[in-house]
C-alpha cells in the first residue's frame, strides 16, 4: 500500500484517493469513481480486514472503503484526526484533543478510548522535519506506544484495559516511533 493508493488482491482492483473521489481501476481500466460521502478528502489509507480506511490530516471522519462492494462509508471520530496506524486487526487513531481510539478493523467500531495527553498544540508538518506524534502498536502484548513530542514523553498504553500504563520520559521532542521486537 502506498500513500493515497491501495491494491486489493482479492479483486485485483487498485484504489486511488483523488481530490473529490476514489478512483477504482480493474485490469488497468476505470471501473468506478466513488465520491466522498463527507466533505473531507482522503490522502492515505489504513489497511483493515478486507477493507481500507481513508483519512487525511485534520479530518473528523474515517472513510471505510469496501473494495468488493465499491462503497465508501463515513465513520465519525468525535474529534480531529492527527495520526493513525493499523495492525490489521485494530485501528489506532490519535485525535488532536489527546485521545487514542482503538477500533476494530472490519467495520471501524470503537472498542476503547484512552486519554494519553492534553490537547496537542497547533502543528503543520512539512518536508522540513517530523513534528507530529506517532503510534507504534504491539498487538502481541496488547500495547501501543504513542509519542508526545510537545511533552517529551512516550505513553505506553494497555489497549486491552483502556488505560495508560506509564509515561516514558525520553526528552527532546519524540516524533516517529519504530517498535523493535525482542
61, 76, 91 - which closes a domain: 76
Buried b (16+ CB within 10 A) or exposed e, 53-86: bbbeeebbbbbbbebeebebbbbebebebbbbbb
In the block, cell 470503537 appears at 110
In the block, cell 471520530 appears at 77
Asked whether residue 58 falls in the same domain as residue 112, the answer is: no
Asked whether residue 68 falls in the same domain as residue 3, the answer is: yes
From 88, 59, 51, 91, select the one nearest 76 (Cα to Cα): 59
111 in any annotated domain: yes
Q: What is the percent of the chain with per-residue pLDDT over 70, rounded to a whole number?
A: 94
Asked whether residue 109 falls in the same domain as residue 152, the answer is: yes
User: For residue 181, what pLDDT band results from cuts at 50, 70 and 90?
Assistant: confident
Asked whether residue 116 falls in the same domain as residue 172, the answer is: yes
Question: Global pTM?
Answer: 0.93
Asked whether residue 70 falls in the same domain as residue 121, the answer is: no
8: region left, alpha or beta (phi > 0 left; psi from -120 to 50 alpha): beta
Domain that holds residue 33: 1-76
99 in any annotated domain: no
Lowest mean pLDDT among 64-73, 92-101, 103-112, 126-135: 126-135
Asked whether residue 130 falls in the same domain as residue 181, the answer is: yes
58, 76, 94 - which closes a domain: 76
Asked whether residue 70 falls in the same domain as residue 114, the answer is: no
67 in any annotated domain: yes
Lowest mean pLDDT among 68-72, 116-120, 172-176: 172-176
94 in any annotated domain: no
User: For residue 132, what pLDDT band results from cuts at 50, 70 and 90?
Assistant: confident
Asked whether residue 25 falls in the same domain as residue 68, the answer is: yes
Q: Measure the CA angle with vertex 75, ends 140 and 163; round to 5°.
A: 40
DSSP of 117-155: SSPPPP---BTTB--S--EEEEGGGTEEEEEETTTTEEE
76, 97, 128 - which closes a domain: 76
Q: How many domains does the chain have?
A: 2
Percent helix, strand and coil across the chain, each rounded to 5? 0, 50, 50
Mean of pLDDT over the chain = 93
20 in any annotated domain: yes
- 144 - beta bridge partners? 137, 157
d(CA 58, CA 122): 11
pLDDT score, position 176: 87
d(CA 127, CA 143): 30
82 in any annotated domain: no
Convert the pLDDT of each residue in 39-88 to its tens digit: 999 999 999 999 999 999 899 999 999 999 999 999 999 999 999 999 99
Amino acid at each position: 500500500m502506498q500513500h493515497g493508493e491501495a491494491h486489493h488482491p482479492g479483486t485485483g482492483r487498485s484504489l486511488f484517493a483523488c481530490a473529490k473521489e476514489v478512483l477504482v481501476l480493474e485490469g488497468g481500466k476505470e471501473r468506478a469513481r466513488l465520491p466522498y460521502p463527507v466533505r473531507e478528502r482522503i490522502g492515505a489509507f489504513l489497511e483493515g480486514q478486507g477493507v481500507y480506511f481513508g483519512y487525511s490530516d485534520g479530518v473528523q471522519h474515517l472513510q471505510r472503503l469496501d473494495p468488493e462492494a465499491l462503497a465508501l462509508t463515513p465513520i465519525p471520530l468525535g474529534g480531529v484526526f492527527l495520526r493513525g496506524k493499523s495492525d490489521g486487526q485494530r485501528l489506532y487513531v490519535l485525535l488532536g484533543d489527546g485521545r487514542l481510539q482503538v477500533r476494530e478493523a472490519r467495520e471501524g467500531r470503537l472498542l476503547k478510548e484512552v486519554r494519553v495527553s492534553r490537547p496537542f498544540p497547533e502543528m503543520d508538518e512539512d518536508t522540513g522535519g517530523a513534528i507530529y506524534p506517532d503510534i507504534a502498536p504491539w498487538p502481541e502484548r496488547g500495547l501501543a506506544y504513542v509519542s508526545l513530542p510537545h511533552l517529551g514523553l512516550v505513553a505506553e498504553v494497555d489497549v486491552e484495559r483502556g488505560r495508560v500504563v506509564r509515561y516514558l520520559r525520553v526528552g527532546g521532542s519524540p516524533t516517529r516511533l519504530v517498535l523493535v521486537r525482542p
